[in-house]
Chain A
Amino acid sequence: MKILKKCDYLLIFIVAATALYFNFFLTSKLMTEVNDGNVVVYYKNSVYGTYDLETNQVITITTELGFNEIDINNGTVHIADADCKDKYCVKDKPIEYNNQTIVCLPHQVIVKVENNEESEIDSFVR
């Protein structure tokens, strides 16, 4: 039983290396600690609202596609409830670092943690 060919191993290696590279690149260059951060909510590619990360609050985003209840608690953000059918956003881990996002595709809502002041490395990457 020898199914795999040499090139298959090469393919596995290349894809795994790409994934690792992206993972490393994204986490090291983009995801940094926030000080004085904001929670920015995007709806259909435009900013829906900006909220302070340090204030504990619950925000409900209601659009024609449905609602998402965003819970900001001790500097971390997660989606507490939503009426989309797959609820991936509710199951997602809480976010706290710069540029981390929670995405709700059915509602076209993106919740993102952003620094108030852009650090140099971020503006460079962008």
Chain B
Amino acid sequence: MSTKRISYIGVLTSMALILSYFERMLPPPVPIAGVKFGLANIIILIALYILSSSDAFIIMLMKVFIVSVLFTGATGLLFGFLGGTLSFIFMYLFKKSNLFSIVGVSMIGGVMFNVGQMIASYLLMVNISLFYYLPVLLIFGLASGFLTGIVGHYTITSLKSAKIVAYYK
């Protein structure tokens, strides 16, 4: 592991943590547990595009783990882990397929994050009525994924034009 790689992972992880913290200070957009803006997803998205996929996965895991230690506790770990992993797998596959732009990748990430949260709450309390929230969660994941995708697009464009990301690609 080169020093450069370690510092990239470290910087992006801390940015993801800051965004998670900032997000917790904002009022929830819809009064449903699990609906969030998903600001930290911007960082995972950028990491996926400027670093290797395994590094982006490491960042996602560290973010989920540290956020659960700092704020949410053991339940948060289950929620974050399921949501994070599911959304990461889908973002990775969608990016790999080359059919989707960064916005599309981000949108499937947002949607799958919410689906993962749904599955986590289903595991915690087996009750099919929880799926009432699914339509709201899907639409909201789509919308927030769209916005984070736009942010990610412009961030990566300017990072590239400033020649900051001459790291892996």
Contact = CB atoms under 8 A, between A and B. Distances in A.
Interface residues of A, number: 31
Given A15-B142, A103-B130, A110 B107 contact: no
B99 A7 contact: yes
A45 interface: yes
Could you say which interface size class chain B belongs to?
35 or more
Nearest to B140: A19
A101 B132 contact: yes
Contacts of B146: 12
A88 B100 CA distance: 35
A103 B138 contact: no
A49 to B, nearest CB: 16
A11 to B, nearest CB: 5
A18 B138 contact: yes
A34 to B, nearest CB: 14
Given A19-B139, A22-B131, A42-B125, A86 B33 contact: yes
Given A11-B100, A18-B138, A26-B131, 11 more contacts: A3-B150, A7-B100, A8-B104, A15-B107, A16-B138, A19-B136, A22-B135, A45-B127, A100-B132, A101-B127, A110-B125
14 contacts: A4-B101, A5-B101, A8-B100, A11-B104, A12-B107, A15-B139, A19-B139, A88-B33, A101-B127, A101-B130, A101-B132, A105-B124, A108-B125, A112-B129
